[in-house]
Structure 1
Amino acid sequence: MSMKKLSILAGGVAAAAISAGAYAQEPVNLTIVSWGGAYTESQVRAYHEPYMEENPNVEIINDDGSANALAGLRAQSQAGNVTWDLVDMLPSDAQLACDEGIILPIDHDEMLAPAPDGTPASEDFLPGSLGECFIPQIVYSTILAYNTDLFPEDAQPDAIEALFDVENYPGRRALQDRPGTNLEWALYADGVAPEDIYDVLATPEGQDRAFAKLDTIKEHIVFWTEGAQAPQLLADEEVVMATGYNGRIFNAAQVEGQPFDIIWDGQIVEWDGWVVPADGDNVDAVMDYLYYATDTQRLADQAKFISYGPARASSAPLVGEHADLGIDMNEHMPTNPDNYYSPIVLDNDFWTDYGDELRERFANWMLQ
């Protein structure tokens, strides 16, 4: 481990985490990896552009590689050529990367800003959201969305059961090409309570039950890989409903004017956040950026551009109107009480333990 990394892990870089611009003002390019689309745009407007304005020596380069972030980090680490400086990653993948030592552990209270009232970061970030190597930004959800033009006004779908009901809601459905969300919803639609889903899915019988439920709609499924595909499939009327990220569907409906609506029933709630690759060339600069980009105001600012809830408790009261549309963003947040009535909170420990075997089984099932 380099001396630079040792100094960070020992808390010896407090100066690099005091305020923006605390490190030496040398020209630096930071390659920041995220998901693309409306989500990356929200980061650019809330974090990147304000930070670069305050730090003109920094140039942020966006890379839309988060869909394959774990594989990318592994490959760069094995090659001894780490070119990514900061990566937006899901918690389950972050835990695997952390266990493998290819991302850096984080001392949250040392490296992250406290809340405005002095509450330490470890107490201000929402319970369960912080990981050993993971800094959350947002609470988002995977939801079921539908094209309102494709159903009669008096027969619009309103529950996850509609996904599996091709008789009353005919048409093709778009599902992401991974087991997560699909297996949970299969059990939920088959009568398993949200709080029991992962206990059932941890058993061979529960897994068989979930795949059997998916079998009932398999001939009606279109699979998508990238987040932008779900709203595009809906807009093109290639499918009548689709799983998707709530922020993408919000953007398509509210910004682009697409006739989409969200079914909040059974929403799969998850964190998304940052990890710092080990052996990167710009770790001090990255930590300075992270201190800025994950403070209370910046996380609240992101909600001006996309309908994801901030991961800090102190940020929630600062959520207001959309920067361009002028609409109240609170009602579009996954955590709004009107939307949060039957959530399924994604169990990252489950997917860390069972993910490899279920991904293999799901991939084989897709090809059958």
Structure 2
Amino acid sequence: MPPAHRIDTHQHVVPPRYAKWLADKGIRPGGIDLPTWSEPAALKFMDRHQIQTGILSLSTPGVHFGNTPEARRWAREVNEFCAALVARHPTRFGFFATLTLPDVQGALAEAQYALDDLHADGIVLLANNNGHYLGDPAFTPLLDFLHRRQTTVFIHPGELPADPVPGIPTFTADFLLDTTRTAISLILSGALKTYPGIKFILAHAGGFVPYIAYRILLTMLSKQTKPRQAWTLLDQKHQIPKHLAVLRQFHYDLALSASPATLPSLLEVADPTHITYGSDYPFAPAPAIRFLDGQFDQYPLEPGLRQAISRGNAETLFPRLRA
């Protein structure tokens, strides 16, 4: 077995007390049972999949269920749990701190504490919070703070602010749409341009963003000119790289997305230095991760790109992990 070298920017943590809290509330994130997680199991998984370091994050549904004081207590507990884990294994784990959105004031306080006192590697934000996407003006104070701190922000999808479709699991399409919606929200609101200090990582290869890149560009151009002229602007092929630059600001992870059906679109749209490895452990079953790792290892890439995606690009985001 080759030595562990990957940096996994999409690996989840399920603290035992948090798991019990959700179970007591009857919450099944994404319509599935919460997977079991333990420190030894996570390390064993990482060793089997050549992962040197996992950047841990809390998945959907986060900590805010309408009770702000309760959300603040649980965000603090989850973050301190993760910080203690990193202290025990500083080369094996990092973490994205959990915040309290839509409670912006609580989120600001927890972000400062997590970055300054707990030395979090970044922040995790759900794509929508109580139906509000990240370009919403209500979140401006938080985005401004994260911009000034030059923060890496991992965007993870949550439940869509709409009724589920019977028979279609949330993870099949809804999660991907949620990520796509918030990416477009950040673009159209101007937040992506206003806060360039934030390094946004979009989960699951950006959801549908690479596949519908031209639709996003047309929408963006239609806000600047008449719709018919937007089509004309997009048809000027020498202008397309300039328009695509906005999508190349995002970072994208490969969690459950390293397939020959997805990679061509992602590689066409993303900056190759902005793609990172992701496993989605423990929500993704080990056979799925093993299968997609194999697909990625076999996919024809430019020289050096496989190593950059596996580790080098993440080292740029998290300099403390540089070998």
What TM bracket, shorter-length normalisation? Answer: under 0.3
In our comparison, the structure showing a higher alpha carbon Rg is 1
Q: Which has the higher contact order (CA 8 A, sep 6+)?
A: 1
Question: TM-score w.r.t. structure 1 length?
Answer: 0.25
